[in-house]
Amino acid sequence: MLNNELWTLRVPFQMIPGKGIDGLDQPFEEKIGNLTIKLRYAQQFYVFEVEGLESEQADKEYLNKICIGLRWVMLNSDLAFDIHTDFNEVIYNPTHNSDGLVNINYPTVYPSSNKIYTVTAGNAVATLLTDVNYFHSLLIEGLDKNSFDITSNKKLNTAFELYNLHYYEHSENARFLILVMVLEVLKTSCPKQQVVQTLIDRWIQ
């Protein structure tokens, strides 16, 4: 592999059932600096492809920016996303090492010169679509908010996951309880009284 090989980050995600992004008959493409970011829809998955990153590690770090961008979209719209942050390795064809197969559900990093294939199937559902330009404008705002590593902040990450989860609940009571849990996670922790801490320690034992 050449030292100047460029890498591609592939990030699949799904929307909350019944929601989607309109205007993706053709891949939506955005140029940010030296990077090309594409958004496409295929086989019931939306897929980001970030091309032009200079290393495999840079690709993996850019996943954090994608997560921040999607969560900014979520906070400014009624959209929620199902996205994995664990990477899946490419399974290469032993007779043709430039061809590979990936799990469609997980992010993948691979040299841009390689050909990557996915296969999946599923059932059709009714979907309410969101305009791709609106989605794109929110995403770009979110991509700029990279002053913190959202994946390493467990408290904030848990709050975002709960907030995202509440969109998937059908019951208003369940959604309300999850939002209360979000506030509980985000609130400043206070030292517990000794009698309370003693009881907690006893229950843990």
Q: Is residue 102 part of a domain?
A: yes
Q: Is residue 158 part of a domain?
A: yes
To which H or E segment does residue 59 belong? helix 56-75
Q: Is residue 1 part of a domain?
A: no
One domain for residues 83 and 17: yes
Q: Is residue 2 part of a domain?
A: no
Residue-wise pLDDT for 56-105, tens only, equals 888 888 998 898 899 899 889 888 888 888 888 888 776 666 678 888 88
Q: Work out the pLDDT band at 8, boundaries 50, 70, 90.
A: very high
What is the 8-class DSSP label of residue 148? S
One domain for residues 200 and 121: no
Dihedral over Cα of 199, 174, 12, 8: its sign: negative
| pLDDT at position 104 | 83
One domain for residues 70 and 116: yes
Q: Work out the pLDDT band at 10, boundaries 50, 70, 90.
A: very high
One domain for residues 160 and 128: no
Q: Which of 131, 148, 165 is the last residue of a domain?
A: 148
Percent of the chain exceeding pLDDT 70 equals: 82
One domain for residues 158 and 99: no
| pLDDT at position 155 | 84
- The Cα–Cα gap between 8 and 112 comes to 5
What is the residue type of 25?
A: D
Which of 68-72, 155-159, 186-190 holds the top average pLDDT? 68-72
- Which residue segment(s) compose the domain that 81 sits in? 7-148
One domain for residues 140 and 79: yes
Q: Which of 129, 148, 167 is the last residue of a domain?
A: 148
The residues facing 28 across adjacent strands are: 39
Q: Is the model more confident about 92 or about 192?
A: 92
Q: Work out the pLDDT band at 13, boundaries 50, 70, 90.
A: very high
Which SS3 state, helix, strand or coil, does residue 202 take? helix
Number of residues that this document lists for the chain:
205
Q: Which of 102, 133, 148 is the last residue of a domain?
A: 148
What average pLDDT does range 159-182 have in this prediction? 84
Q: Is residue 110 part of a domain?
A: yes
Question: 16 with 24: CB under 8 angstroms?
Answer: no
Mention every residue, 6+ apart, whose C-beta is less than 8 A from residue 41. Answer: 20, 21, 24, 47
Q: Is residue 19 part of a domain?
A: yes
| pLDDT at position 132 | 87
One domain for residues 72 and 169: no
In total, how many domains does the chain have?
2
Dihedral over Cα of 173, 165, 77, 152: its sign: positive
- The Cα–Cα gap between 98 and 119 comes to 18
Distance, C-alpha 31 to centroid of its chain: 20
One domain for residues 185 and 122: no
One domain for residues 122 and 175: no
Q: Is residue 58 part of a domain?
A: yes
One domain for residues 69 and 141: yes
Confidence check: pLDDT of 171 > 50: yes
Q: Work out the pLDDT band at 118, boundaries 50, 70, 90.
A: confident
| Burial track 132-141 (b if 16+ CB lie within 10 A, e otherwise) | bebbbebbee
One domain for residues 117 and 25: yes
One domain for residues 45 and 68: yes
What would the two tokens of residue 94 be?
């032993």
